Amino acid sequence: MTHWIIAPIVLPALLAPFIVLAARYHIGIQRAFSVAGVIALIAIASGLAWQTSDGSIVLYQLSDWAAPFGIVLVGDRLSTMMVLLTAVLALFVLLYAIGSGWDARGWHFHALFQFQLMGIMGAFLTGDLFNLFVFFEVLLIASYGLMIHAGGNARLRAGVQYVLFNLIGSTLFLFALGSIYAETGTLNMADLANRVAMIGPEDTVGIRVAAVLLLLVFAIKAALVPLHFWLPSSYAEAPAPVAALFAIMTKVGAYAIIRVYTMIFPPELEVTAGLHEYWLLPAAMLSLAIGMVGVLAAKRLDRLVAFSIIGSMGMVMVSIALFTPVGIAAALYYIIHSTLAGAALFLIADLVRTGRADMELTAQPPVAGSALTAGLFFVGAIAMAGLPPLSGFLGKLLVLDAAYDTDLVVWIWAIVLGSSLIGIIGFARAGSVLFWKAHSIEVPDDATPMPRPAALSYVAVGGLIALLVGHTVFAGQVHGYATTIAGQLFAPAPYISTVVDTPGKLSKPKEDH
């Protein structure tokens, strides 16, 4: 048993208090440690992803207590891929925060950033539902601090809504965990998978309630309509680098749905039959439609990006709700795309705000540094709206292809294609108002020129765009890997037996002892 798998959680957990205690007055030292920590995380995450890419399951029993009595961390292809995605995203977001000076506008940005990473990494790696709750709380409480970073009334007000909505979500999560424990007597995911399969068809009330409650909780995290109301104002009011990091938080919800509803409540399980196709799929299609309509209706650039996140989560969830290996593979490809594109768009919106004073979608004098910003916005919008040649288009094709064999193919195709059109119009309108109409506005002579964004900001955004291009160029390899991930998810027997059968401290000795 190697200890590397706990490193993505322990490293930020140690770094954050160090930054608070030892370097609180030295922004330079904070930045250096934060960047070094994130680079180390990328290295560790790459190692873990490499280790699990052959299909092996890495199990870590804390204090050597065997599951289900101890808490376990489990790394498989899916969780290590998500950890790697988080670490890579964190690096570019951090570079942007440093370049734009956002981290110096309030206290403890870097410490909260590290705690946030710890929570996200833990949520991806844990093999225990209650532990998942705890890591959700870790990432949430760090996100509350980050969300109101640098203060301001509008931000605090949005922060209150965000915190309250998530507290309700956490309480629901506890209710779900309580009912699961009352029904099965365990909270370890692999052990649960075994025990839920043994529940007879006559005694399913409690476990059905638990399955639906759990789905609600994860749907809140994934901002699925009608549980999306917290997202637009909180993402729009949050500081740009924070909003960009939050792009991965909705994916934590998607990850949890994939994990729990392929392993514990698989689609063929009679107890929860109908949950996916009758509830999740329509909600996902509604999210896609409402997100893209919101893009068209938004009056501010940051709200527009927030609604595009809802729309892209809708696309991810449509693909997940099919619950076929092809659908999950398409969803995983789209999750990577949507995380990178959403984060890039939030950062680009901040580039616009830096050179322009506000986010209103009205014609105003040209943005400082407008050619480069406009170019980046163009690329980001193409990616998010799903136009060729970028990965959004390929992801959408994969989703359409995965939906081809289902009964609801007409609905899915109509909504995916129709909402794409609406999204394209929304992005085109925003781009033309922001960048083209600006040239017809007279600049008053006494106007003070707005500052240009720093070079490092452009490097960070450019890096994310480059990753998107890479995601497009290597689409074959990425999708191939996503397919093997989906294959592993739909054959959970090795995962379950690794977790349940590995002996630990005080386990019964084996026969040869």
Partner 1 sequence: MELLVASAIGILTAGGLYLMLRLRTFPVIMGMSLLTYAVNVFLFASGRLTVGAPPILRDDVSVYTDPLPQALVLTAIVISFGMTAVVVMIGLGAYLGSDDDHVDDQPETLDDTADITAEGGS
Please give the residue ranges that form the binding site for partner 1 (CB under 8 A).
Answer: 130, 134, 137, 140-141, 144, 148, 150-157, 159-161, 163-164, 167-168, 170-171, 174-175, 177-179, 181-182, 233, 237, 239, 300, 353-354, 357-360
Kindly state the smallest distance separating residue 367's Cβ from partner 1, in Å. 13
In this complex, which beta carbon is closest to partner 1, that of residue 147 or of residue 329?
A: 147
In this complex, which beta carbon is closest to partner 1, that of residue 300 or of residue 396?
A: 300
Calpha distance 255→384 (Å, rounded): 20
Kindly state the smallest distance separating residue 225's Cβ from partner 1, in Å. 18
Kindly state the smallest distance separating residue 182's Cβ from partner 1, in Å. 4
In this complex, which beta carbon is closest to partner 1, that of residue 137 or of residue 277?
A: 137
Tokens, residue 115:
């705690």
Calpha distance 444→463 (Å, rounded): 35
C-alpha 384, offset from chain centre = 15
- Could you tell me the sign of the dihedral formed by the alpha carbons of 394, 399, 405, 409, in that order? negative
In this complex, which beta carbon is closest to partner 1, that of residue 76 or of residue 128?
A: 128
Kindly state the smallest distance separating residue 362's Cβ from partner 1, in Å. 12
In this complex, which beta carbon is closest to partner 1, that of residue 360 or of residue 405?
A: 360
The count of other CB atoms within 10 Å of the CB of residue 199 is: 17
**Site of tokens 């960009």:** 244
Calpha distance 340→471 (Å, rounded): 10
Kindly state the smallest distance separating residue 438's Cβ from partner 1, in Å. 17
In this complex, which beta carbon is closest to partner 1, that of residue 141 or of residue 387?
A: 141
Nearest of 488, 466, 321 to residue 407 by alpha carbon? 321
In this complex, which beta carbon is closest to partner 1, that of residue 68 or of residue 314?
A: 68
Contact 213, 175 (CB under 8 A): yes
Kindly state the smallest distance separating residue 218's Cβ from partner 1, in Å. 17
Supply angle C-alpha 359, 363, 368, rounded to 5: 65
Q: Kindly state the DSSP code that residue 74 receives in the 8-state scheme.
A: E
**Site of tokens 């940051």:** 302
Kindly state the smallest distance separating residue 162's Cβ from partner 1, in Å. 9
Tokens, residue 513:
């002892």
